[in-house]
A = this chain, B = another copy of it.
Amino acid sequence: MELELRAKRKETRVNDKLFFRQLFDAESFTYTYLLADTTSKEAVLIDPVVENVERDLKLVEQLGFNLKYVLDTHVHADHVTGAGKIRELTGAKTVVGAGAKVDCASVSIADGDTVSFGPFAIKALSTPGHTDGCTSYYVEGMVFTGDALLIRGNGRTDFQQGSSEKLFHSIKDKLYKLPKETRVYPAHDYRGQTASSIGEEMQFNARIPSGQSLGEFVKIMEALDLADPKKIQISVPANMKCGQLQGA
């Protein structure tokens, strides 16, 4: 009993060490994530939006965190990343998947590589298909899926080297191999959904449940016929330069 109680206290402490906060951008419907080790105060931001840098850094400062890395899941087409600006202001290193070929990134992270904050290791999972360089990030039972796997959906595959076939394999052969209880945090949601789990998506994803065939998925993706994101002409070139706007 004594030992059980001690173990329980220990367990509580381990859980309490990982700070997690989801943030939202109501213009582009983007989710940004702040994670931190509450002991060492080392922190990371995933997918910050340039217009919200002040908000995000104020929170980091209030909580006494030191930003170590800013990670992008991919070269976004709908908003400009805050990564470059945050690197300038804080000295944090920017991280982008190697396949994205963003030369200005501090770290080009390859599949299976890790970056860490305090005792927590974030593992990069290469999940191309929405773009060629899309990378999901796994840490402590959570996976940040960018625009690869969305809640009940998935990212479009009709620009930026998109490939429905690659995305199919990224989701089915990589993300769906994670434990079912893994919490899924995407880069966007347009219907007010904030989170999901691998098990939920395997069962209820509208386009790619676990039993979906490649042929059927490709057919669904080809039929979408979507308009380009409003900011694509500004966002993609800026994000290839870590968020630096043309002429800025």
Residues of chain A touching chain B, judged by Cβ–Cβ distance below 8 Å, are 3-8, 10-12, 15-16, 21-26, 29, 32, 52, 55, 62-63, 181, 191-195, 200, 203-204
Question: Which of B10, B24, B181, B200 makes the CB contact (< 8 A) with A194?
Answer: B24
Do B7 and A195 touch across chains, with their CB atoms under 8 A apart?
Answer: no
Do B192 and A24 touch across chains, with their CB atoms under 8 A apart?
Answer: yes
In the assembled complex, the Cα of A25 lies from the Cα of B204 at a distance in Å of: 21
Q: Which residue of B lies closest to A189 (CB)?
A: B24
Do A21 and B52 touch across chains, with their CB atoms under 8 A apart?
Answer: no
Contacting residues, chain B, for A200 (C-beta < 8 A): 62-63
Do A11 and B21 touch across chains, with their CB atoms under 8 A apart?
Answer: no
Q: A7-B8, A23-B192 are in contact. List 12 more A-B contacts (CB 8 A).
A: A3-B4, A3-B7, A4-B10, A5-B7, A7-B11, A21-B195, A22-B195, A26-B29, A55-B191, A55-B193, A62-B203, A194-B194
In the assembled complex, the Cα of A199 lies from the Cα of B218 at a distance in Å of: 49
Nearest CB in chain B: distance from A31 CB, A: 9
